[in-house]
Structure 1
Amino acid sequence: MPQDAALSKDKLVSDLKVVVADAEELLKATASQAGEKAAELRSRIQDRLRDAKVRLADAEAALIDTTKAAARATDDFVHDHPWKAVGVAAAVGLVIGVLIGRR
């Protein structure tokens, strides 16, 4: 998985956690509101928040698993092909050095 996609998923998980926390806070703040309609709405929202938390935990676990798999694959490649890894690292370092040197 490209690094940008992993960062986007990580940001999405973080943003969803904030939304869930805000929604829970809103439910607590409106707990004193009377009426059958308000109670029904709060109950429905609580159910959806519970489901969202489960899906969020699943998404976070999947993101962690994907990141670990990418790290394992990189580690395996470096162990299987150490000179290629050194060559790639040197080439990347050279490119970064040239780009920095132009400024």
Structure 2
Amino acid sequence: MARVNAQTAQEILMADFQTLVADAEKLLAHTATLAGDQADELRDQINESLQQARETLKLTEESLRERGNAAMTATEDYVQSNPWQSVGIAAGVGFLLGLLATRR
């Protein structure tokens, strides 16, 4: 379940960032009608920023996927090698959450 939630959160974040980049590209296309040196300079700056954003997005996505997979693998290995400790930890956390929920 945590794996699905983490992947969903990553996908939502990446989709939002890609939408932001797409919107910025549309803005850049709309500024093409502007004339003058300042408009050309502005378009160049926006284009450069978009290039950097795409590169950052790719690096961040790869990093998040690697770290997420490493965390899932480590958790699965721990649970498989220590099943009773994992059950005890889960029961303790559930008990504490139950106490907190009943106090409200």
For the aligned pair, the TM-score class normalised by the smaller chain equals 0.7 to 0.9
Q: Which residue of 2 aligns with 1:96?
A: 97
Unaligned runs of 5+ residues in structure 2 are 1-5
Question: How well do the aligned residues superpose, as a CA RMSD in angstroms?
Answer: 2.5
Q: Which has the higher contact order (CA 8 A, sep 6+)?
A: 1
Once residues 38 and 77 of structure 1 are traced to their aligned partners in structure 2, the CA distance between those partners, rounded to angstroms, is: 57
Runs (4+) of structure 1 exceeding 3 A deviation are 10-19
Change (3 A) 1:102 1:37: closer
Which amino acid in structure 2 is aligned with residue 60 of structure 1? E
Count of aligned pairs between the two proteins: 95
Q: Which residue of 1 aligns with 2:77?
A: 76
Once residues 20 and 61 of structure 2 are traced to their aligned partners in structure 1, the CA distance between those partners, rounded to angstroms, is: 15
Once residues 102 and 38 of structure 2 are traced to their aligned partners in structure 1, the CA distance between those partners, rounded to angstroms, is: 67
Which amino acid in structure 2 is aligned with residue 29 of structure 1? H
Unaligned runs of 5+ residues in structure 1 are 1-5
Task: Percent identity, please.
Answer: 44
More helix by share: 2
Which string of whole-angstrom CA distances, capped at 9 and with x for unpartnered residues, describes residues 4-47 of structure 1? xx8xxx68766654543332121111111122442243133213
Give the alignment's TM-score, normalised by structure 1.
0.73
Change (3 A) 1:97 1:44: closer
Kindly state the Cα deviation for residue 102 of structure 1 after the two structures are TM-superposed.
Answer: 2.1
